[in-house]
Structures are given as structure tokens and as C-alpha cells.
Structure 1
Amino acid sequence: MKLVLKGIIPPMITPLTADGNLDIDGVQRLIEHLISGGVHGIFLLGTNGEGPSLTYELRKELISYSCKFVAGRIPVLVGITDTSFLGSLDIAEHAKKAGADAVVVAPPYYFPISENEMIEYLECLAPKLPLPFMMYNMPSCTKIHLTIKTVKRAKELGAIGIKDSSGDMGYLNSLIEEFKDSPDFPIIVGTESFLSETIRKGGHGAVAGGANFVPGLFVDLYNASVQNNHLVIDELNKKVKYIYDTIYSVGKYESRVTKGIKSALSVMDICEDHMALPLRRFENGDREKIKSYMNEI
């Protein structure tokens, strides 16, 4: 049966120990927290998962333990984006062996590439993938904004959907319009504040970073959006805005969202907030701000 993705799929953070190893107990606690919150899947090794900063060995360890702990209860998606073509395939093969359900493909980063080069890359990659693949548009990190032409070619090559983290509502609407007659090709938004509007326009869900620490909030917002319950949508969107104004606004660097999510989870005693270099966790003052905001939440 073809995997159909929808709902809330958190981009799971990667719990780490102080010495940079995988926090296995933290992984298990986090997964149970997510599943008990009603999420519809998890996405490993994305941007919030610090995937590109982790060794291949640690990535594989995370995949194996996550699939073991999930035990088939929800779909597991694995990000395989890498500067190395063979490195991406290696992680994909491991994901298959570990029991993951799909992989997620963003453009290889570092070198700026053209639309034609991206399409040729997919034409080489897709036939070799051992699992269904979902596209991931993340222009702020990859130096390329996936065009509709590229996404259509990806679909022809077997892609089962796309996650758009461009933050461009106009582009997101164009995706929804282009694939409105393809319900088996879901459009998933990565900008969580766009969730209700995405569902209203015909999209299918969100890869919401905040669902790491408040999964129930985003699951409820998704359900209210599907049911077109405006009163509940308005109330829950106020809570999402509060997260943006507080947890995501601590610190002065672009990495503050991922740091804020990990710090929030540490306040909840789910896992520590250690980061993979080059990122560093918040200092004490900022961590205290996160703690006070979480008390309010």
C-alpha cells in the first residue's frame, strides 16, 4: 500500500549527551511524548534534527533506535540530504534496513546548482532509493528554490509529496493548486504558523517544529482546520503565535528556533539541550527565559 502522508509530522530534534553522543533514553522519552500527543509521523535528520552536523554513525544510530522505539505505530521519515550522493544512498539503505517508511530528499547543499542540475540529480537518485521519497524545499539552507517544474519531475520519478519550508505562502499556494487533482501527492508545510491556512487552501499537514514539545497543540490545530472550526482555529493560532513570540524569539542568531525547541524539551525533562557543533545551546540567562515561557505555556 502506498504511504500517504498527512497531519502533524514533527521534525524530531536529535537528543545528544554533553560529549556529543546520542542520548538514547532521551530519544525514547521524546518519541513516547510525540506519540502520546497524537502526531501522525516523525521526520528524523531534518533541519531541527541537525542532520548535516551529525556523523554518519550517529545518524544511523538515531534511525535504528527511533524505528525500534516507534515499533510501527506511526510512519518514520528519514532525511538523507547530504553533500555526497553516495552518502545519501548509504543513509537511505540503512533507513530501509532499520524499518523506516520513507526518506526525505532536499537538494545537496554547499554548491549552488541550477534547476536542470537538480532534475538530473533526482533522475540519478530516485531509481536507486530503496524507500519511497518525499521532496523537501528548504532554499535558505540549500541555495535553490525548487520550481514547480522540478517538483513535477520528482513526482514523475516517484516522489510521494513535498514539504515546503520556503516561508513563501504564494509558492505554497502554487504547489497546492498544481497538485490539487493528485490527493496521493500531499503538500506539507514546514512553516507551522501557515498550518491552518494550508489546510484551508487544500494542503495536507505540517512538519511543525513546535510539535516536539507541544504535539497536542498542533494536532488539535490540524484537526480543527480539517473540521473548519474557526473558533478553535483562532484560539489555537494565538497559542502558536505565543510560541513564535517567546520560545522562538530568545537569542539573536538564526539557530534560535532549534535551540529554543531543545531548551523547551530540557525544561520538560525529556532530554538535554546539547547541540551538535557548530551550534551551541543557550547560556543560563536565555535558558531561564525559556523556562519562564514554558511555565506560561
Structure 2
Amino acid sequence: MTFGRIMTAMITPMHQTGDIDWNGVEAVLEHLVATGTEGIVVSGTTGESPTLTQEEKVQLFTYVVERVKGRVNVIAGTGSNDTRSSMELTKRAADCGVDGIMLVAPYYNKPTQEGLFQHFSTIAKTTTLPIMVYNVPGRTSVNMSADTMVRLSSEVDNIQAIKEASGNLVQVMDVISNKPENVVVHSGVDELNLPYLSVGGDGVVSVASHLVGMEMKEMLEAFDRGEIAHAAEIQRKHLPLIRALFMTSSPAPLKYAMNRLGICEEHVRMPVIPLSAEEKLVMDRLLDELQLLK
């Protein structure tokens, strides 16, 4: 399976009550499909997975698969810090018809490297779906070492992709140099998308692609053509926006921006809170400068 070079970690639109806004989910899906996204991660961190119930996640998987109708790949975020519950959700996601799953490194528990290996490999045995493992030490408090990522992708057949969000380019190069040829490595750090590509990365799992998906696609295509200066210009141009998306707890800035674009409501679930008036002004200015407000 090809996960897609431009994947989006999709938000979960919500009403002010905190309930999922299903019309908003559909609007976001159609927007992403129309703006270059080739794979959608449902119920990842940007989708506020820590505050979604298991039942809500299954409902999202089912809804997105039905609405997408095979136009892009649907990747279910089924990872957590509990191996058994991740196994159960993975089985249920498969029944929903998703194309693959993404497993984040367990957060809070701070497992050893051997614990990480056993966590991922144990879940992998419960499914035939292709798996993307996700290393994001800034959120999980544990870094999956290059050796562990290489071992997983070499010894577990259905681990076919790695989302690497450590921001450590040396570690990324170690993984790319030693992984099996058929395993892809995607940037999970929008600020470093082009640097990841430059050392052999295969694609991106993006947050900013909600807003600048076509521009991101242009950057990848320019890089492929050898137009490195043009690709770098695109990366630099959007860097202030990318940074602003994380100026406070994600996905609050992104949801505000998507609301300004008229796509969905801006509401988030606590403990994430809406943007302050000052933060909204920062986002408004950037959206205006990039001419994203139609």
C-alpha cells in the first residue's frame, strides 16, 4: 500500500457543546481531498484523540471511510499508551474498512526501547493492515531510537511506514540509511518538511496542509524536479504560519483558521482552550498575508 506523499493529520470538528460536528467533518474531508491530500489520518493528535472516546473514534473511522469512497487513503489513529486497548481499537478500525493504521509511541508510561518494540509488534500481530509507527517525543516523553524504528520495520512485516517527529535530522538519517527499502519515512514536523526530504524522506504527515495543501504539493513536486531553490522558497514562505499553528495548544490555532476560512467551527475540547484575542490577531494577519481568506 502507498500511504500517500502528502498526508493530513485531520482535525475533528466539534460544536460548542463538545459533540462531534458531522457536517464539519464532511466539509473538512472535501476540502482536504480538493487541496492535494492523498491520505487522511483520523483521530491522531491533531484530531484530539486523547479526548475522544473509543466509540467516537469508531464512528469517525466509519463516517470518513463512507464519505471518502476510496478517493484518498484513510489511516486510523488507533495508538495509545495501553497496548490492550490499542489492539482492540485496531481490530474495530479494520472492521470499519480503513486502509491502514497509525500507532503513536505510548505516552506517559515512558517504556524502554524493548517495551516500545513489544508494544508495536504485539499490536501488529492482531491485524493485516499496513501500519505507520509514529515517533513524537515532544508529546510522549519517550524517543523511539533509530535502532528501534529500524528493528520494527525490518522484523514486523506490516509496519510499512514511519512518521518521524523528533526533529532530529541525524536520527532521521540513521533510520533512512538502515530501514528496509520498501518502508517509507514521513516528516511529522511541518517546519522541517523540506529538510526531511533532503536527507531521503518520502513524504509528510502534515497539519499545515489543512490550509496550504496545494502549496505543499507544489513544494514536493519542485523538489522532485530538482528545483531546490523554489522548494525552499515555498517552505520559508509558509514557516511563520506553520509556527503560528503551534503558538498555543494544538489544534486550537488550526481550528480557528479553518473557521476563518469558512470550513468548520473553531471549538476544541478541554483541556485545550480557544485562542485569546491576541492570538487570533496573529492568525488573522498571517492568513491575510498569505491571501488565504477569500
TM-score normalised according to structure 1 size: 0.91
Is the Cα contact below 8 Å between 1:54 and 1:276 reproduced in 2?
Answer: no
Match of 2:171 in 1: 171
Counterpart residue type for residue 124 of structure 1: T
Match of 1:292 in 2: 285
Distance 1:101 1:273, change over 3 A: same
Q: Distance in 2 between matches of 1:123 and 1:242?
A: 38
Is the Cα contact below 8 Å between 2:91 and 2:126 reproduced in 1?
Answer: no
Structure 1 residue corresponding to 2:191, chosen from 176, 193, 197: 193
Q: Distance in 2 between matches of 1:52 and 1:72?
A: 27
Match of 1:135 in 2: 133
Match of 1:95 in 2: 93
Trace 1:146-295 onto structure 2 (pairs within 5 A).
146-155=144-153, 156-158=155-157, 159-179=159-179, 182-244=180-242, 247-248=244-245, 250=247, 253=248, 255=249, 257-295=250-288
The alpha carbon displacement at 1:175 in A equals 1.4
Q: Distance in 2 between matches of 1:265 and 1:123?
A: 37
Is the Cα contact below 8 Å between 2:4 and 2:73 reproduced in 1?
Answer: no
Match of 1:76 in 2: 74
The alpha carbon displacement at 1:69 in A equals 1.4
Task: Report which stretch shifted further, 209-218 or 152-161.
Answer: 152-161
Structure 1 residue corresponding to 2:17, chosen from 5, 16, 19: 19
Gaps of 5+ in 1: none
The alpha carbon displacement at 1:130 in A equals 4.4
Is the Cα contact below 8 Å between 1:10 and 1:208 reproduced in 2?
Answer: yes
| CA offsets 1:164-196 (integer angstroms, 9 cap, x no match) | 0111111112112222xx332001011112222
The alpha carbon displacement at 1:230 in A equals 2.3
Structure 1 residue corresponding to 2:106, chosen from 108, 126, 140: 108
Trace 1:5-84 onto structure 2 (pairs within 5 A).
5-84=3-82
Is the Cα contact below 8 Å between 2:208 and 2:242 reproduced in 1?
Answer: no
Is the Cα contact below 8 Å between 1:6 and 1:204 reproduced in 2?
Answer: no
Q: Distance in 1 between matches of 2:69 and 2:181?
A: 27
Is the Cα contact below 8 Å between 1:63 and 1:98 reproduced in 2?
Answer: yes
Q: Distance in 1 between matches of 2:215 and 2:99?
A: 25
How many pairs were matched up?
288
- SS of 1:76's equivalent? strand
Divergent runs of 4+, >6 A: none
Is the Cα contact below 8 Å between 2:9 and 2:46 reproduced in 1?
Answer: yes
Q: Distance in 2 between matches of 1:130 and 1:20?
A: 34
Task: Report which stretch shifted further, 190-199 or 132-141.
Answer: 190-199
Distance 1:78 1:162, change over 3 A: same
| CA offsets 1:39-83 (integer angstroms, 9 cap, x no match) | 121111222111112111221222111111111111111111123
Q: Distance in 2 between matches of 1:185 and 1:295?
A: 39
Q: Distance in 1 between matches of 2:150 and 2:85?
A: 25
Gaps of 5+ in 2: none
Is the Cα contact below 8 Å between 2:136 and 2:143 reproduced in 1?
Answer: yes
- SS of 1:128's equivalent? coil
Q: Distance in 2 between matches of 1:184 and 1:82?
A: 26
Is the Cα contact below 8 Å between 1:136 and 1:162 reproduced in 2?
Answer: yes
- SS of 1:60's equivalent? helix
Is the Cα contact below 8 Å between 1:199 and 1:226 reproduced in 2?
Answer: no
Counterpart residue type for residue 156 of structure 2: L
Q: Distance in 1 between matches of 2:242 and 2:74?
A: 26
Is the Cα contact below 8 Å between 1:6 and 1:186 reproduced in 2?
Answer: no
- SS of 1:207's equivalent? strand
Q: Distance in 2 between matches of 1:170 and 1:281?
A: 36
Is the Cα contact below 8 Å between 2:102 and 2:131 reproduced in 1?
Answer: yes
Q: Distance in 1 between matches of 2:233 and 2:242?
A: 15
Q: Distance in 2 between matches of 1:296 and 1:22?
A: 31
Q: Distance in 2 between matches of 1:151 and 1:230?
A: 29
Q: Distance in 1 between matches of 2:57 and 2:289?
A: 34
The alpha carbon displacement at 1:31 in A equals 0.8
